[in-house]
Amino acid sequence: IEHAHKGTLFLDEIGDLPMSLQAKLLRFLQERTVERLGGRNEIPVDIRVVCATNQDLQQQMREGQFREDLYYRISEISVIIPPLRERQGDRSLLAHALLERFSQSQRNAPRGFSSPAIRAIEAYEWPGNVREMENVIRRAVIMADASRITPEDLGLEPPAEAEEDRVGLREVRDAAEQEAVIRAMGRCNGNIAQAADLLGITRPTLYNLLDKYGLR
């Protein structure tokens, strides 16, 4: 904490902090001073504190595992990041970004994903979220023999096509249109020209669809 003076202190997995340390952290956040182990002098510290957790802190409070006063100290501004399974389109975009990153250090690395691989990435729920995807993409970059990564390289299976349970014609059309745009943008890594070609429409039409569904 002392070394973070005039900077930012990032506390990962704050939900796993034992109750005894929670009390000490709360005291620091209230007084903004620390004492070195074995020291006698209080040292003022001016820092920004950022915390992260995959735990439900409100549930932990109800179960008596997380201090309520500490929760309200650290949650002045909260940003909730949904898991990958709830972020349509982000999975393929993130996969492209990871492939580009890992390919830089790998000789003769794959240049992209096959269409079945993209469908598998979009259908898989990724219970381990980004960390799991990082491991899967890194392994595929190392092990793939072809120029494009396949579902077998990823250890995933391409999904069967499923029909949406909707009845309104306009709702079905708009939902299908929006999903098609999101998938095309994800598969083309945000490239407008390629996405428009994949959808069989012009770039101005794609720009209009992106604006219509608030996708840019």
Q: What percentage of the chain carries pLDDT values higher than 90?
A: 57
Cα–Cα distances in Å, from 49 out to 10, 12, 37, 182? 6, 11, 21, 35
Measured in degrees and rounded to the nearest 5, phi and psi for residue 213 equal -100, 10
pLDDT at 166 over 70: no
Give the model's pLDDT for residue 165: 42
Contact predicate 114/148, CB 8 Å: yes
Of 168 and 40, more confident: 40
Percentage of the chain lying above the pLDDT 70 cut: 96
Sign of CA dihedral 210, 211, 212, 213: positive
What does DSSP assign to residue 3? G
- 169-187 vs 90-103: helix crossing angle, rounded to 10: 10
CA dist 155 and 140 (Å) reads: 8
Residues constituting the chain:
216
Task: Say which CATH topology domain 163-216 has.
Answer: Arc Repressor Mutant, subunit A (1.10.10)
- Structure confidence at residue 45 (pLDDT): 95
Domain boundaries, the chain: 2-74, 83-162, 163-216
**What is the four-CA torsion angle of 157, 134, 105, 94, rounded to 10 degrees?**
80
The arithmetic mean of pLDDT across residues 35-41, rounded, is 88
DSSP structure string for 14-67: GGG--HHHHHHHHHHHHH-EE--TT--S-EE---EEEE--SS-HHHHHHTTSS-
The pLDDT of residue 31 is: 93
pLDDT in tens, 143-157: 898 899 999 999 998
Under CATH, which architecture does the 83-162 domain have? Orthogonal Bundle (1.10)
Report the distance separating Cα 71 and Cα 19, nearest Å: 12
Which pLDDT belongs to residue 193? 93
> Does the pLDDT at position 171 exceed 60?
yes
| Stretch among 155-159, 169-173, 194-198 having the lowest mean pLDDT | 169-173
Tens-digit pLDDT profile for residues 54-107: 889 999 999 999 999 999 999 989 998 888 888 877 899 999 999 999 998 888
pLDDT of residue 1: 92
> Which residues does 107 contact at the CB level (< 8 Å), separation at least 6?
none
Q: What is the pTM of this model?
A: 0.59
Query: For domain 2-74, is the CATH number 3.40.50.300?
Result: yes
